[in-house]
Amino acid sequence: MLLYYITDRKQFPGPEPRRRELLLAKIAEAARAGADYIQLREKDLPARELEALAREVVGMVRETRNEKRETRLLINSRSDVALAAGADGVHLPSDDVPASDARAVWSSVLSRNVKRATRNVIIAVSCHTAEEVRLAEAQGADFAVFGPVFEKVGTSLCVGLEALRAACLVGHMPVLAIGGITLANARACLEAGAAGIAAIRLFQHNDITELVGKLRPLG
């Protein structure tokens, strides 16, 4: 199963420097534990600050990657920041540019950089309906993150397991479940056809090494 940690430093306590410190520690923990993907999703940061943080995270992930399972770093929405920082790809919100456009930008930039030309960009897309999953795959996305499957804290919005099941049947690319995911309901997502799970709170509020040890056997 694929495991996708999505960051949100605002969930950590304390002033901004402390939140950043805790965020970096959690990212390193996720890389050591062998999370498949990490999305740097600090949407409120100005581009320059986000790029500086992304550069630091790229170096950290590469230094602390698990020997058996390589962690890939994606940047939320900002292909320019991802390219500048040397990240592995980009995660596109459902209302963002098509995956095909993002891939064209990456291909154009990388083709001018001999040292990076052989690197394959990873493009993930957030989806909320089966039709969005179908479209994302047709446009060349590598995987979809679908949800919210379960009710999230602070909202009653959820699409449910049947919608997840339908989304997993429309194509061939991996579909990861997101939204209210816990250890108790992760198996149900896999049984519905999900290739893995994506989450913020599940990873940030738990020991990731222990969590991965409990999740991997499920799929």
For residue 44, what are its two tokens?
């409120």
The 10s digit of each residue's pLDDT in 197-217 is 999 999 999 999 999 999 999
Please tell me the distance from the alpha carbon of residue 24 to that of residue 4, in angstroms, as a whole number.
Answer: 16
User: In this structure, what is the dihedral angle of CA atoms 41, 54, 26, 206, given to the nearest 10 degrees?
Assistant: 20
The 10s digit of each residue's pLDDT in 167-201 is 999 999 999 999 999 999 999 999 999 999 999 99
Averaged pLDDT, groups of 10, the chain, 219 residues long: 97 96 97 97 96 96 85 96 95 96 89 61 97 97 97 74 97 96 97 98 96 94
Residue 118: per-residue pLDDT: 42
For residue 12, what are its two tokens?
């950590």
Q: Which helix (H) or strand (E) holds 201?
A: helix 201-204
For residue 204, what are its two tokens?
């940030």
Residue 120: per-residue pLDDT: 81
Domain ranges across the chain: 2-218
Please tell me the distance from the alpha carbon of residue 96 to that of residue 75, in angstroms, as a whole number.
Answer: 13
DSSP letter at 177 equals E
Portion of the chain with pLDDT greater than 70, in percent: 95
Residue 154: per-residue pLDDT: 60
Instruction: Please spell the DSSP secondary structure of 160-212, one letter per residue.
Output: -HHHHHHHHTS-SS-EEE-SS--TTTHHHHHHTT-SEEEESHHHHTS-HHHHH
Give the residue carrying structure tokens 């098509």.
98
For residue 103, what are its two tokens?
């891939």
Residue 36: per-residue pLDDT: 97
CATH numeric code, 2-218? 3.20.20.70
CB 24 within 8 A of CB 56: yes
Residue 115: per-residue pLDDT: 54
Residue 111: per-residue pLDDT: 76
